[in-house]
Amino acid sequence: PLPIDQDYSARDDIMKARPIERRRNLASCLKLVAEMCARY
């Protein structure tokens, strides 16, 4: 098991990274929806 300090810093990095990942996921979802709309 990791020391508590390392565990918390790793978690903090994940929390900071999440908003960027969410934006990327949202952008890819919108692209997919746009492609599906363009087909119909």
pLDDT at 37: 84
> Which percentage of the chain shows pLDDT scores above 70?
52
38 pLDDT band, cuts 50/70/90, is confident
Q: Does residue 2 surpass a pLDDT of 60?
A: no
Alpha-carbon gap, residue 7 to 40, rounded angstroms = 48
pLDDT at 30: 86
φ/ψ of 3, rounded to 5, equals -60, 155
Long-range contact set of residues 15-21: C-beta below 8 Å, sequence gap at least 24: none
Query: The pTM is what?
Result: 0.43
**Digit-coded pLDDT (tens) for 15-31:** 676 677 777 878 888 89
